[in-house]
Chain A
C-alpha cells in the first residue's frame, strides 16, 4: 500500500500564491537588488540603501508584495522617521496596488508607542489621558525641580535646564549611566553628580505624580510594558507579523530594543537604512544599531542598493571618495 503523509500547512498561507497571479510585474519594475529586497519575506533582513537608490520605492513595493501574497494589511507595521513618510509610502502603495494598503499600520516610533500606551497606560500606573511634554516643557519642569531643591542659588555653578535635559535624555536613550556622560561632556559638573541625580529623581517623580510623559518616556515606557507584560508582548507580536523600519541608521538603543521585542515571536523584521547617512547622534541615535544588526540577527539577509537614480556620475564619484577617506574602515 502506498503511504500519504499529512503535513502541517504553513499558517501564513503563502504556499497558495502563484507569482504569475501577481498584479504587479516586480521583476520589470525593479532592478535586481531592489527586487531581491522586495521579495524577501520571512525572517530578518537588513537593506542597505545608499543615497538616491530608490529606497522609498523599494519599501512601497515590498508593502504591496506582502499584501499581494495574502498577508493581512493590518498585520504589517511600518515605522518611519516622520508620520508624513509613512503616509506617503502607504499612499503610493495604495495607488500601486489597491486600497488594502491603506489599512497598514504606519507611523513613527513615538506615535506608535503613544497609541499603545493610551490603551495600556493604567498597567504602568498612568492614566490614559497623560500629557506629552515636549522638550521645552520638560526643561521647564526640570528647572522647577532644580529651584525647589534650591540648587539654583548656590555658590557653585549648577548645570542649566537645557544641559540637564540633554543629559537625562541621552542617559535614557543610550542606556548610559549619567556619571559616564558627565565625565565626557560636562566634566566641570562631575563633583555635583549626587545633586544632578537628585534633580533627575525629582523630575521622574514629578512626571509620575502629574501624569506626564516626555518624548523619551513614550519609548521607554512602551519597552517597559512589553518587557514586564508577557501577555501584551504576545498580543502585539501576534498582531504585527511583519515589522518594517525605515531610516534604521537614525534609531536609538531603546528603539532597537522595541524592534526586537515586537518581532520576538516571528522575527519577520526588515530594517532599511544607510549607515553612511547616520547624522542624528546628538539626539541619541546610534550607528551601532545598523552596524550590529547582523550580530543581533545572525541569520539575517543583507541586501545592498547601490544604483543611484538621482545624481550624475561625477557627483557620485566625489561622494564615494568623501566616504572612502573616512577613518572607519570598510567592513562587509
Chain B
C-alpha cells in the first residue's frame, strides 16, 4: 500500500461508536431509535445512511423501518434493465437495430404463444439467410423493405413481424418505436406475470427514458453500458416532503458521503464474509471495504453488530465483532452495549 495518513483541519467531533446488541432485531431497533434521535437533533434523513456488506443483511432493519414509518431507498442489487420485462422490450428494439442479434430473437420469439425452441430456431435460420442483402455495409439500420420479406409465417409469428415492420420505419423516433412495441407487448406482459401492474410502471419509466434519444443505436448502447437508475431496488413510502433515509451496500456507497453513517452487521462471518476468510487477498479487500464504509461519514459514525447469529451454512453461531475493529480501544472507538 502507499503510505498515507488522512488528516483534517476541522476541529472537534464526536467519537465513533461500536455498538453490540444481543441479536439481530435489537440491532435493527437500535438503529431505528438512533435515527429518530438524530432527526430530533436536526439531521435530516437524507444526511443519514445505513451501510452493509451484503444486500440481504438489511432485511430485518427494513421491516423495523417500515413499522416506524421511516421512508428509505435501498441501493445495490438488481438493476432496472436487468428485470425480465424490461429486457423483453429492449430485445424488440435490439432486433430492429441488428437483425442478426440471435439472442434477442430467441427471447422475443419464445414470448409468442405457441412458439417453442424448435420453431424459434427455424425462424432465426430464415432471418439469417436474408441478412446480407438487407444490410450490405452493416452501417445502416435495415429498412422497412427488409422487414417486408417476412410475410408467410403462421398468424402468431406474423403478428410479431408486422409490428417490427411498422416500428422499423425510418421516420420513427426511438420513443415512437418503443410505443409500438409496448402496445404489442402489453398482452404478453399481462399473460406472463401476476404482478404485471407493478411491472407496467417500469415500462412506463422505460418509455420516458427513450424520449431523450434521437437514434436507437445510442439508446441501446447506453442501456447496455450506462444503465439508468443504477440499482435502486426498493422505494418504501417516501414521505410527504420526499425526505428519505439511504440503505446501501458499501459497494454502491462508493464516492458518497453523509452526515451520519451506520455500518451494521460488523460481525465476523458476515463482514468479512465466511468465504473471504480463506484468502489473504480477499481479507485485505474486505478490510478496504470497511475503510471505504467508515470514510463515508462526516460527523457521526456508528458501527453495530449482533452477538448471536446462527450461520446456516457452516452451522456456527457468530458472536464476535469483525476482525477489522476488534480490539481497537476506547481511545479510537467507544464501546457501547444495548440493553
Could you show 12 A-B contacts with beta carbons less than 8 Å apart? A52-B6, A110-B225, A130-B98, A133-B103, A137-B104, A276-B4, A304-B4, A307-B8, A310-B295, A311-B8, A314-B332, A326-B284
Question: Is A331 a contact partner of B292 (Cβ separation < 8 A)?
Answer: no
Task: Kindly list chain A residues whose C-beta atoms are within 8 Å of the C-beta of B282.
Answer: 281
Shortest C-beta distance, A302 to chain B (Å), equals 8
Among A90-98, A121-129, A159-167, the stretch that binds chain B is A121-129
Question: Is A327 a contact partner of B103 (Cβ separation < 8 A)?
Answer: no
Indicate if B2 sits at the interface (CB-CB under 8 A).
yes
Task: Kindly list chain A residues whose C-beta atoms are within 8 Å of the C-beta of B315.
Answer: none
Given A279-B250, A281-B282, 11 additional A-B pairs, CB 8 A: A83-B225, A137-B103, A210-B100, A277-B254, A291-B2, A306-B5, A311-B8, A311-B295, A314-B332, A327-B284, A332-B2
Indicate if A155 sits at the interface (CB-CB under 8 A).
no
**When each residue 1-37 of chain B gets 1 if its CB lies under 8 Å from chain A and 0 otherwise, what string results?**
1111111111011111000000000000000000000
Indicate if A318 sits at the interface (CB-CB under 8 A).
yes
Q: How many residues of A contact B (CB 8 A)?
A: 67
Say yes or no: A317-B332 contact (C-beta < 8 A), given A53-B6, A212-B103, A332-B2.
yes
Residue B225 contacts which of A108, A141, A144 (CB distance < 8 angstroms)?
A108
Say yes or no: A308-B4 contact (C-beta < 8 A), given A110-B225, A321-B328, A322-B290.
no
Task: Kindly list chain B residues whose C-beta atoms are within 8 Å of the C-beta of A50.
Answer: 4, 6
Say yes or no: A276-B141 contact (C-beta < 8 A), given A311-B8, A318-B333, A331-B2.
no
Indicate if B285 sits at the interface (CB-CB under 8 A).
yes
Indicate if A14 sits at the interface (CB-CB under 8 A).
no
Interface residues on B, range: 35 or more
Indicate if B298 sits at the interface (CB-CB under 8 A).
yes
Residue A323 contacts which of B1, B82, B297, B332 (CB distance < 8 angstroms)?
B1
Shortest C-beta distance, B248 to chain A (Å), equals 13
Question: Is B292 a contact partner of A322 (Cβ separation < 8 A)?
Answer: no
Bound: A131/B217 CA distance, A: 9
Indicate if B291 sits at the interface (CB-CB under 8 A).
yes
Indicate if A11 sits at the interface (CB-CB under 8 A).
no
Bound: A27/B53 CA distance, A: 40
Indicate if A51 sits at the interface (CB-CB under 8 A).
yes
Task: Kindly list chain B residues whose C-beta atoms are within 8 Å of the C-beta of A141.
Answer: 103
Say yes or no: A48-B2 contact (C-beta < 8 A), given A131-B98, A311-B298, A315-B294.
yes
Shortest C-beta distance, B5 to chain A (Å), equals 6
Residue A129 contacts which of B103, B135, B291, B295 (CB distance < 8 angstroms)?
B135
Task: Kindly list chain A residues whose C-beta atoms are within 8 Å of the C-beta of B333.
Answer: 318
**When each residue 76-103 of chain A gets 1 if its CB lies under 8 Å from chain B and 0 otherwise, what string results?**
0000001111000000000000000000
Question: Is A331 a contact partner of B7 (Cβ separation < 8 A)?
Answer: no
Question: Is B251 a contact partner of A127 (Cβ separation < 8 A)?
Answer: no
